[in-house]
Amino acid sequence: MSFSVHNRKTSKKPYPLEPLLLPQVPRSNYLHFQEEKQRLQLKKFLLNRMFLVARIEVNVERKEIVEYYEEVFHTISKQHLGEAVTGLLLIYPTSLLLILESSSGTLYRIISDYIGHKKNEIEYFIQEMKIVVISHNIPTRFFMQWHVSVIKVPVMYLDDVTQSQSLKEVITEFLTQTHKLSLHLCKTAKVGTKGPGNNLHQSVPDLLLSEQIIKYLCKSEELMDPATFINMYDRPIDVTLDSEVVWPAPSCF
């Protein structure tokens, strides 16, 4: 008895290959990173700090300067809700030092108001305002509220040190002294109080900035005035680069 064996050919159909899945790497940009950072810190806007110096008229009442800035802050706060302005205003006999902390939009409105007064009034009581430096996206505020201090007694110096210093050295000293003073007020000033008062020249004379430095910065042509800053701020960024210009210009045949 013989058995016949039939060889079955098993058909091996190729299984469909699964599509290759490339690793999905989350991509973001710097703007998203900053927005997420602000969200985690429960911030509604990026915080900026601006340092300003200006010359004031001798016969101007110091109360008039204080009322002017308080009125500006109150007007802007109606349109920029939740963007409070904190900082320090030091009023010297013939000049002032201004430190502002708020959003970029609020700071823009403050210096724009100054430009409007300069255009409409021939002799405005604030003159030769200069922007010393602007710090963007600072982590925290130095001041929890708005402080004003009138320096009634001028600080006397043996000689004018700005005559032998460069602009870089003067700005370095300016930032160093204002930083030390801001740290001192941040530690000592309590929320809800009127601030340091008008006796800083007696309590912390070594932390006060010399008025000679403020006058030097007001006359500096290298520092930017508010009008120049606003013009640069409003200038469009989609400018034509030299590399995009083809020369000679294409002509039609």
The CATH number of the domain holding residue 65 is: 3.30.70.100
pLDDT band with cut points at 50, 70 and 90 for residue 154: low
Q: Point out the least confidently predicted range of 34-43, 132-141, 160-169.
A: 34-43
Residue 54 predicted with pLDDT over 90: yes
- Pick 33 or 85 by higher pLDDT: 85
Closest residue by Cα to residue 217 from 154, 182, 166, 177: 166
Mean pLDDT, range 74-96, rounded to an integer: 88
In a domain, 14, yes or no: no
In a domain, 246, yes or no: no
For the chain, the domain total comes to 1
- Pick 119 or 214 by higher pLDDT: 214
pLDDT in tens, 209-247: 888 999 999 999 999 999 999 988 887 666 666 666 666
Closest residue by Cα to residue 177 from 202, 209, 205, 199: 209
Q: Strands of 126-135's sheet, edge to edge?
A: 126-135, 48-56, 95-102, 86-91, 146-150
- Pick 86 or 235 by higher pLDDT: 86
Three-state DSSP string of the chain: CCCCCCCCCCCCCCCCCCCCCCCCCCCCCHHHHHHHHHHHCCCCCCCEEEEEEEEECCCCCHHHHHHHHHHHHHHHHHHCCCCCCEEEEEECCCEEEEEEEECHHHHHHHHHHHHHHHHHCCCCCEEEEEEEEEECCCCCCCCCCEEEEECCCCCCCCCCHHHHCCHHHHHHHHHHHHHHHHHHHHHHCCCCCCCCCCCHHHHCCCCCCCHHHHHHHHHCCCCECHHHHHHHHHCCCCCCCHHHCCCCCCCCC
- pLDDT for 213: 92
In a domain, 52, yes or no: yes
**Mean pLDDT (the chain, rounded):** 79
Mean pLDDT, range 41-49, rounded to an integer: 73
pLDDT in tens, 100-111: 999 988 999 999
pLDDT band with cut points at 50, 70 and 90 for residue 35: low
In a domain, 127, yes or no: yes
Residue 53 predicted with pLDDT over 90: yes
- pLDDT for 36: 67
Token readout for 200 is 């800083």
pLDDT in tens, 69-81: 999 999 988 887 7
Q: Domain of 206?
A: 43-233
Closest residue by Cα to residue 88 from 177, 221, 203: 177
- pLDDT for 34: 66
- pLDDT for 171: 93
% of the chain at pLDDT higher than 70: 69
- pLDDT for 118: 84
pLDDT in tens, 158-200: 456 667 788 999 999 999 999 999 998 888 876 656 666 677 7
In a domain, 29, yes or no: no
In a domain, 19, yes or no: no
In a domain, 252, yes or no: no
pLDDT in tens, 8-19: 555 555 555 445
Residue 97 predicted with pLDDT over 50: yes
In a domain, 173, yes or no: yes
